[in-house]
Chains A and B, each alone.
Chain A
Amino acid sequence: EIVLTQSPGTLSLSPGERATLSCRASQSVSSSYLAWYQQKPGQAPRLLIYGASSRATGIPDRFSGSGSGTDFTLTISRLEPEDFAVYYCQQYGSSPPKFTFGPGTKVDIK
């Protein structure tokens, strides 16, 4: 079973700064199977990135995803006030078929 680890656990930054979030898998993951979500308090997660680097519909271009194999990155180029939230990575493993999520990275205001 593939385990996802996210770092850091909390990222304290100011609006306008760049955020770099890491997601590491215990085994190689197909890029097609890697997604990122944003979750704000009291809300459901929202899809940001799928296929490791494709932005979902309506997602601003300040969000970008990259990576391959076991190391993936979500970058927010310039933080807006509405970007302070928890971010989760998610992968699909085919053997056995199962979706798993990372523990999340909280981006909070410094």
Chain B
Amino acid sequence: QVQLQESGPGLVKPSQTLSLTCTVSGGSISSGGYYWSWIRQHPGKGLEWIGYIYYSGSTYYNPSLKSRVTISVDTSKNQFSLKLSSVTAADTAVYYCARDPYGDYWFDPWGQGTLVTVSS
């Protein structure tokens, strides 16, 4: 079955850019049929959808984060990535990648998540 795994630095300095990658195994991003999303969870808090990308490269972002977010896809590596610029302590969170069936509106499966702390 499809599995997702996040990777990237666990510590980012304020004002810098957070960069994470999600590697997909057990299925091909380029096959289509799914959106690939990033979702975050602040410590002890609820969940916030960041945005998604289709294999073609088309994206949609949460309007509240849109000015700072870039999601890209590398089908040759079966990966998609998140960049969040100008980070502050408020961006400290566990970041998850997840799959969303095209035309449907839920997330399954999810990666295990990776904690990113913003601190100097």
A86-110 interface mask toward B, CB cutoff 8 Å, 1 = contact, 0 = none? 0010111000111111111000000
Q: Which residues of chain A from 38 to 59 have a CB within 8 Å of any chain B CB?
A: 43-47, 50-51, 56
Flag whether A70 is at the interface (Cβ < 8 A): no
Closest B residue to A91 by CB, please name it.
Answer: B105
Closest A residue to B4 by CB, please name it.
Answer: A44
Flag whether A35 is at the interface (Cβ < 8 A): yes
Flag whether A32 is at the interface (Cβ < 8 A): yes
Q: What chain A residues lie within 8 Å of B36 (beta carbons)? A: none
SS of A interface (majority): strand
Closest A residue to B37 by CB, please name it.
Answer: A99
Q: What chain B residues lie within 8 Å of A56 (beta carbons)? A: 108
Q: Which residues of chain B from 95 to 120 have a CB within 8 Å of any chain A CB?
A: 96, 104-113
SS of B interface (majority): loop
Please determine whether B49 and A101 come into contact, CB atoms closer than 8 angstroms: yes
Using A35-B105, A99-B105 as known contacts, say yes or no to A44 and B47 having CB atoms under 8 A apart: no
Please determine whether B46 and A35 come into contact, CB atoms closer than 8 angstroms: no
Q: What chain B residues lie within 8 Å of A37 (beta carbons)? A: 107
B85 to chain A, nearest CB (A): 20
Please determine whether B112 and A44 come into contact, CB atoms closer than 8 angstroms: yes
B17 to chain A, nearest CB (A): 23
Can you list 27 A-B contacts (CB < 8 A)? A33-B105, A35-B106, A37-B107, A43-B112, A44-B110, A45-B47, A45-B96, A46-B108, A46-B110, A47-B106, A47-B107, A47-B109, A50-B108, A51-B104, A56-B108, A88-B46, A88-B47, A90-B107, A98-B49, A98-B62, A99-B37, A99-B49, A99-B105, A101-B47, A101-B49, A103-B46, A104-B46
Known: A33-B105, A50-B108. 10 other contacts (CB 8 A): A35-B107, A43-B112, A46-B108, A46-B110, A47-B106, A90-B106, A92-B105, A97-B60, A99-B105, A104-B46
Where the two chains meet, the residues of A that have a C-beta atom closer than 8 Å to any C-beta of B are 32-33, 35, 37, 43-47, 50-51, 56, 88, 90-92, 96-104
